[in-house]
Amino acid sequence: MKSDQLILNNHQSSPADLAKSKKKKMNGRMMAYYLMVIPAALLFFAFHTFPAIQGIYYSFTNWNGINLDYDFVGFKNYINLFKDTAVRDSYLFTFKFAIFAGVLVNIISLAVAIGLNAKIKGRNFFRAVYFLPNILSVLIVGFIFNFVFTSIIPNLGEKYQIEFLTENILGNANLAWIGILIVFIWQSCAFNIILYLSGLQTVPHELYEASSLDGANRWQQFWKITFPVIAPFFTINMVLAMKNALMVFDQIVAMTGGGPGTVTTSISYLIYTGGLAGGEFAFQSANGVIYFIVIMAISVFQLKVLQKREMDM
């Protein structure tokens, strides 16, 4: 600080020159700032925004992704989307999956986080164990669970004569989605537990002591003290878990390939298979646009509703 003062004093000898050079320097400074951000913005436009616009553009054509020529068909793809049973089924599956995943991931994560926050032995070890799934490849975890469901559990069922375990649930059209749900929960809880835990650590300890002196039980303590403090974490965890579940892809590839039949075909999996291999480039582009609008609407809706709840508490 002292040396700055000295330099400032030196400059004061010629105020006119200073103003001039200062202006020049300001321009140079702004130039540098522009150089920092403009190329990045252009790259981002070229590889993110531009493809998104292209996707919207193609959604109004009948391009199959291979031929050189295509025609404009207006809203035909969009109208057909609403008539297409494969598309409808993929939305129903994905929503069902996301709702169950969002709720279960949050309940389990919060329960485990409260446990980890209690006075327990080996807390750091357990914290490290619970976070471990977050660093693993989703695809490979999917392959591992694939084997667990198709081979290990049925074998155990036969060995110990437990009827309901003998079936490979991934091969059952009614149960396959539960297999994917289990893998998703196994892996997604890791991140949410750690977030809840860091939220719980911000709850002042004195509040619990004071309330237990007032005769509040554990359940009341949770709803009156803990939950209001961690409400922002509930918001972010719910939004994140639902968003990830709505985008489910790797687990589908690793476990069911969208089957049996098409019962576990998620929206992103349908866009991938139909758009790149199925010759439905334009049709699935329209699907992508609708998908984008849906995810956007759900995220905004969740943030609004959950944040309002935070305010009310």
Partner 1 sequence: MRERTNWPVTIFIALGSVAILIPLYISISIALKNPQELAESALSLPLNFHWENFTKAIEVTNFFNAFKNSSIITIFTLVFTLLTNSLVAYGIARNMHRKLFRNLYYYFVSALFIPFPIIMLPIVKQTSALGLNNTAGLILLYVVYGMAMNIFIYVGYIRSIPIELEEAAIVDGCSTWGVFWKVIFPLLTPINATVGILTCLWAWNDFLLPLVILSDSADATLPLVQYVFQTEFGADYNLAFASYLMAMAPMVIVYLFAQKWIIGGVVKGAIK
Residues numbered 177-236 forming contacts with partner 1, rule: CB under 8 A: 186, 191, 194-195, 198, 236
Among positions 18, 43, 103, 107, the unique one binding partner 1 when judged by CB under 8 A? 43
Other beta carbons less than 10 A from residue 120's beta carbon: 9
Site residues for partner 1, 71-110, by CB under 8 A, read none
How far is residue 44's CA from residue 311's CA, in Å, rounded to a whole number? 36
Site residues for partner 1, 21-40, by CB under 8 A, read 28-29, 32-34, 36-37, 40
Q: Does the footprint of partner 1 cover residue 50 (CB under 8 A)?
A: yes
Among positions 247, 260, 278, 302, the unique one binding partner 1 when judged by CB under 8 A? 247
Other beta carbons less than 10 A from residue 301's beta carbon: 11
CA 214 to chain CA centroid, Å, is 41
CB of 23 to partner 1, least distance (A): 14
What are the phi and psi torsion angles at 72 (to 5°)? -80, 135
Q: Where are the alpha helices (DSSP H) in the chain?
A: 2-11, 15-44, 50-58, 76-83, 85-117, 123-131, 138-147, 153-159, 176-200, 205-213, 218-221, 227-246, 250-255, 267-272, 281-312
CB of 30 to partner 1, least distance (A): 8
Among positions 250, 255, 262, 264, the unique one binding partner 1 when judged by CB under 8 A? 250
CB of 271 to partner 1, least distance (A): 4
Coil, strand or helix: which one is 61?
strand
Binding span for partner 1 by CB under 8 A among 76-84, 151-159, 166-174, 222-230: 151-159
The residue among 303, 302, 269 whose CA lies nearest residue 287 is 269
Among positions 124, 161, 174, 217, the unique one binding partner 1 when judged by CB under 8 A? 124
Among positions 60, 91, 93, 291, the unique one binding partner 1 when judged by CB under 8 A? 291
